[in-house]
Amino acid sequence: MTRSDVVVHSGGGLLAAAAAARLITALVDAQAARGVASLVLTGGRTGNAVLEHVRDSPARDAVDWSRADFYWGDERFLPAGHADRNETQNRLALLDHIALDPARVHVMEPSDGRFGDDPDAAAADYATVIGSTAFDVLLLGVGEEGHTASIFPDSPAVHEQSSTVVAVRDCPKPPPTRVSLTLPAIRRAAEVWLMTTGEAKADPVARALGGATEVEIPAAGARGVSRTLWLLDSTAAAKLS
C-alpha cells in the first residue's frame, strides 16, 4: 500500500492554484517519459477551480495537450450539455480553451447518448473505453459523508471488486443516477490526488487518514500505485493530528 502524503494550504484558492502548478508539472513529466499523458478529471468546485488555474497559467502550454488523454472518474447521467454534467463544467473550465485532440477526450455517455437512458450500458461501454489504461494522474474530490467519485459509503459500488465502471443508482445526492469508476479502477492510477476544502470535510478526511475502511469512507480506498496525495485547506485538515 502506498503512503498517503498530505499537503495543507491556507485556503481553497491557494490550494487550487498550487494543485494546478503540480498538475502541469506532472503531465509534462509524463510526456517527457513516454510521449503521452493520461488524466482523469473530476467535477465539483475545487476540481473546476484547479482546471481554471491551469487554463490561466503562463505555463499551461508546456503540456502538449494534443498528446494528452482525458477521462472522467464519474459522471452524472444526464443529457449531453447539461450544466450539471462534469464534462460540461470541465469543458468550460479548461477543455474548450486548449489545443487538444478531440479523439483523446473520452467522455462517459450521456442519458440521451448512444445507449439512451441505460446507465448500465453506458458503464459497460466506458469499461471498454478505459480498457487496461494505467492513468498518470487521477483527480478526486471528497464528499461530506466520505464519498469519492460516485462511490458512497456501504453502497453496491464500494463493494464492487471485478468491474472497473458501474452504474450508480439512488445516490444520496442529486442527481440519483450516475456512472462511476470503481475503486479497483481508481487504484490503477500512478498518482491519485484527493482535493477538498471546508470544515464539513474535516471529519471524513480525518477518518479516511485515520484508518477507516473504504466501506465506511470510500475515499479511504482511493490510492495510487506510486503516490496518494491529499490536498486540503486548513479547515478540511482541522481534525488531523
Per-residue model confidence as pLDDT tens digits over 136-193:
999 999 999 999 999 999 999 999 999 999 999 999 989 999 999 999 999 999 999 9
Report the pLDDT value the prediction gives residue 233, as an integer from 0 to 100.
Answer: 98
Report the pLDDT value the prediction gives residue 241, as an integer from 0 to 100.
Answer: 84
Virtual CA dihedral for 25, 26, 27, 28, nearest 10 degrees?
50
Domain parsing of the chain, residue ranges: 4-221
pLDDT over threshold 90, residue 1: no
pLDDT over threshold 80, residue 2: no
What is the average pLDDT score of the chain?
Answer: 97
**Residue 74 main-chain phi, psi, to 5 deg:** -160, 165
Question: Of 181, 164, 184, 183, which is closest to residue 42 (Cα–Cα)?
Answer: 181
Report the pLDDT value the prediction gives residue 192, as an integer from 0 to 100.
Answer: 98
Kindly list the strands in the beta sheet with 68-72, ordered across the sheet, starting from the edge strand earlier in the chain.
4-9, 227-233, 191-196, 137-140, 37-41, 68-72
Question: Of 165, 162, 137, which is closest to residue 149 (Cα–Cα)?
Answer: 165
Distance between CA atoms of residues 142 and 216, nearest Å: 13
Report the pLDDT value the prediction gives residue 148, as an integer from 0 to 100.
Answer: 98
Q: Topology of 4-221 in CATH?
A: Rossmann fold (3.40.50)
Distance between CA atoms of residues 150 and 147, nearest Å: 7
In tens, the pLDDT along 48-104 reads 999 999 999 999 999 999 999 999 999 999 999 999 999 999 999 999 999 999 999
CB-based contact 11:49 (threshold 8 Å): no
pLDDT over threshold 60, residue 17: yes
Distance between CA atoms of residues 84 and 76, nearest Å: 7
Question: In the predicted model, what is the mean pLDDT of residues 9-37?
Answer: 98
Question: In the predicted model, what is the mean pLDDT of residues 126-132?
Answer: 97
Three cell numbers, residue 139: 483527480
Which pTM value belongs to this model? 0.97
